Structure 1
């Protein structure tokens, strides 16, 4: 009984409390919620582009087009993929803050917004399909989820 309780406690604490699993090929792999250095959201010379969300295609066979997918945080800041960006099976994209050139080859899309979106003290991240259905969501708290303090949390 004690072993069963210990295992149940370990399982319960290893998974963020507000993670929701959906049947979706696309998942939020992780988030660099705290850009290295002092936060500076100037479009030129700032470090907004060092904050990013990694979205991965976990399908073994299907290519997924990100056009129409929506990313939001807890207070409603959002980004909608308006251009074609194809993720092959196992491929990923980093959705970065700031401005830059979107590139399938370099696995990057820029939000074209120099404000930080992910809170350094914790936040919730929601990924929605073009239909509006949930694809994935996670919440993070640095004290709970970022043991090494590097500003990056892995979900999948």
Structure 2
């Protein structure tokens, strides 16, 4: 009678268990990267003294940058929403296409949205991002979260310039 060693069976079982563990960990990591669009940074504190006047203010200097990290395929921002912690929001109402690797800066103040200039304006002269702490949410047209980042000035802005990079 021929006998088999149990070592190969145990090794195969351990390898399968390790593979299963890796597969279980993947969805949690994939959840953060379920969208090609990511918030890459925020200028939450516009340079200079805060002034929300539409004519002489500095709200245009406050912005959030959104980038298309897809390797292929452009993304239309129409219907995407950017929100802060208390619900102030901006919805992209016009077609605004981001090619792979392309970005847009969503600025405060008034202006004309431009694909070629990589800029969109909230058409609101009030500041949206708090200078001490806030949460930035990027929401897909269907309501699912695309990306979210919270920050505090003391923990995330080490050089104190009012800008924080995320991705």
Q: Normalization by structure 2: what TM-score?
A: 0.81
**Equivalent position SS for 1:153:** strand
1:128 and 2:139 are equivalent in the alignment: yes
The structure whose RCO (Cα within 8 Å, separation 6+) is larger is 1
For residues 137 and 68 of structure 1, the distance between their equivalents in structure 2, rounded to whole angstroms, comes to 17
Instruction: Name 2:100's counterpart in structure 1.
Output: 89
**Equivalent position SS for 2:109:** coil
Say whether the 8 Å CA contact 1:22–1:134 is kept in structure 2.
no
- The residue correspondences of 1:18-97 to structure 2 (distance < 5 A) are 21-97=32-108
Instruction: Name 1:15's counterpart in structure 2.
Output: none
Structure 1 residue 63, shift from structure 2 partner = 0.1
Structure 1 residue 45, shift from structure 2 partner = 0.8
For residues 89 and 112 of structure 2, the distance between their equivalents in structure 1, rounded to whole angstroms, comes to 19
**Equivalent position SS for 2:66:** strand
Instruction: Name 1:150's counterpart in structure 2.
Output: 161
For residues 92 and 22 of structure 1, the distance between their equivalents in structure 2, rounded to whole angstroms, comes to 17
Match of 1:105 among 116, 121, 143: 116
Higher helix share: 2
For residues 113 and 92 of structure 2, the distance between their equivalents in structure 1, rounded to whole angstroms, comes to 11
Structure 1 residue 22, shift from structure 2 partner = 4.0
Structure 1 residue 83, shift from structure 2 partner = 0.2
Per-residue deviation, residues 76-132 of structure 1 (Å, max 9, x unmatched): 000000000000000000000000111111100000000000000010011000010
Q: Normalization by structure 1: what TM-score?
A: 0.86
RMSD: 0.9
Instruction: Name 2:26's counterpart in structure 1.
Output: none
